[in-house]
Amino acid sequence: MKYLADRTALIDASGIRKVFNLAASMKDPINFSIGQPDYDVPDALKQVAIEAIKQGKNRYTATAGDPELLAKIAKQTTAEIGWQNPATLVASGVSGALLLAFMATVNPGDEVIIPDPYFVMYKHLVNLLGGKCVFVDTYPDFGIHPEKIAEKITGKTKLIIVNSPCNPTGAVYSKKDLLALAEVARKREILVLSDEIYDKFCYDGHYQSMAALYENTILMKGFSKSYAMTGWRLAYVAAPAHLKPIIEEMIKIQQYTFVCAPAPFQQAAIAAMDFDISNYIADYKTKRDILYDSLKDKFQMTKSAGALYAFIKAPTKTSTEFVEKAIKNNVLIIPGNVFSEKDTHFRLCFTTTNEKLKQGAEILSNLT
Domain residue spans in the chain? Answer: 6-41+277-366, 59-272
CA nearest to 197, candidates 175, 230, 174: 230
The strand pairing partners of 272, in sequence order, are: none
Contacts of 54 (CB under 8 A, 6+ apart): none
Distance, in Å, from the CA atom of 119 to the CA atom of 202, rounded to the nearest integer, reads 18
Main-chain dihedrals φ then ψ at residue 260, nearest 5 degrees:
-165, 165
Under the phi-then-psi rule, with left for phi > 0, alpha for psi from -120 to 50, and beta for the rest, what region is 173? beta
Please tell me the total number of residues recorded for the chain in this structure.
368
pLDDT given for residue 22 in this prediction: 63
In CATH terms, the fold of domain 6-41+277-366 is Aspartate Aminotransferase, domain 1 (3.90.1150)
pLDDT given for residue 14 in this prediction: 58
CB 185 within 8 A of CB 159: no
CB-count burial class (<10 Å; 0-12, 13-18, 19+) for 289: middle
Distance, in Å, from the CA atom of 258 to the CA atom of 260, rounded to the nearest integer, reads 5
pLDDT given for residue 16 in this prediction: 60
Residue pLDDT tens, the chain, 368 long: 789 988 888 887 655 656 666 666 677 889 999 899 999 999 999 999 999 999 999 999 999 999 999 999 999 999 999 999 999 999 999 999 999 999 999 999 999 999 999 999 999 999 999 999 999 999 999 999 999 999 999 999 999 999 999 999 999 999 999 999 999 999 999 999 999 999 999 999 889 999 999 999 999 999 999 999 999 999 999 999 999 999 999 999 999 999 999 999 999 999 999 999 999 999 999 999 999 999 999 999 999 999 999 999 999 999 999 999 999 999 999 999 999 999 999 999 999 999 999 999 999 999 98
Q: Sign of the CA dihedral 360, 366, 367, 368? A: positive
pLDDT given for residue 2 in this prediction: 85
Please, what is the Cα angle at 311 between 160 and 30, to 5 degrees? Answer: 130
Q: Do domains 6-41+277-366 and 59-272 have the same CATH topology?
A: no
Three-state DSSP string of the chain: CCCCCHHHHHCCCCHHHHHHHHHCCCCCCEECCCCCCCCCCCHHHHHHHHHHHHCCCCCCCCCCCCHHHHHHHHHHHHHHHCCCCCEEEEECHHHHHHHHHHHHHCCCCCEEEEEECCCHHHHHHHHHCCCEEEEEECCCCCCCCHHHHHHHCCCCEEEEEEECCCCCCCCCCCHHHHHHHHHHHHHHCCEEEEECCCCCCECCCCCCCHHHCCCCEEEEEECCCCCCCHHHCCEEEEECHHHHHHHHHHHHHHHCCCCCCCHHHHHHHHHHCCCCCHHHHHHHHHHHHHHHHHHCCCCCECCCCECCEEEEECCCCCHHHHHHHHHHCCEECEEHHHCCCCCCEEEEECCCCHHHHHHHHHHHHHCC
Under the phi-then-psi rule, with left for phi > 0, alpha for psi from -120 to 50, and beta for the rest, what region is 28? left
Distance, in Å, from the CA atom of 171 to the CA atom of 141, rounded to the nearest integer, reads 8
Candidate CATH numbers 1.20.140.10, 1.10.1740.10, 3.40.630.10, 3.40.640.10; the one for domain 59-272: 3.40.640.10
CB-count burial class (<10 Å; 0-12, 13-18, 19+) for 44: exposed
pLDDT given for residue 336 in this prediction: 96
CA nearest to 22, candidates 31, 13, 9: 31
Amino acid, res. 30 = I
Query: Following CA atoms 156, 257, 87, 112 in sequence, which dihedral angle do they give, to the nearest 10 degrees?
Result: -20
